[in-house]
Amino acid sequence: MNVFIHHFLFYSETPESTFDSLKIKYGLPEVFPITNFGFFKSGMLWLKNSYLEIVNYPKDIPAPNSNQLETRFVGIAFKTDLSPEQTLEFLNKNHIKSSEILNEDVLDNEGNKVNIAKIILLNDYLHDFRIFFVFHTNDFFETKEKIMPNEEGFTFKKCLLSVHNSLKVIELFKKLGFTFTDANVFKTFTHQTIQIIDSENLATDIIDFEIQRKDKNINILKE
Distance CA 211, CA 120 (A): 27
How confident is the model over 176-222, as pLDDT tens digits? Answer: 999 988 779 999 989 999 999 998 888 889 999 999 998 899 999 99
User: Based on the number of CB atoms within 10 Å of its own CB, is 54 exposed (0-12), middle (13-18) or buried (19 or more)?
Assistant: buried
What pLDDT is stored for residue 182 in this prediction? 78
Q: How confident is the model at residue 68 (pLDDT cuts 50, 70, 90)?
A: low
Per-residue b/e over 163-192, b at no fewer than 16 CB within 10 Å? bbeeeebbebbeebbbeeeeebebbbeeeb
Number of domains in the chain: 1
One-letter amino acid identity for 170? I
What pLDDT is stored for residue 64 in this prediction? 55
Query: Per DSSP, what are the bridge partners of residue 122?
Result: none
Average model confidence (pLDDT) for the chain? 90
Parent domain of 21:
3-219
In this structure, the number of other CB atoms found within 10 A of the CB of residue 114 comes to 12
Mean pLDDT on 155-162: 96
Q: How confident is the model at residue 59 (pLDDT cuts 50, 70, 90)?
A: low
CA distances from 27 to 43, 54, 127, 211 (A): 15, 15, 33, 12
Query: Can you give the CATH number for the domain in which 33 is found?
Result: 3.10.180.10
What pLDDT is stored for residue 63 in this prediction? 53
What pLDDT is stored for residue 172 in this prediction? 95
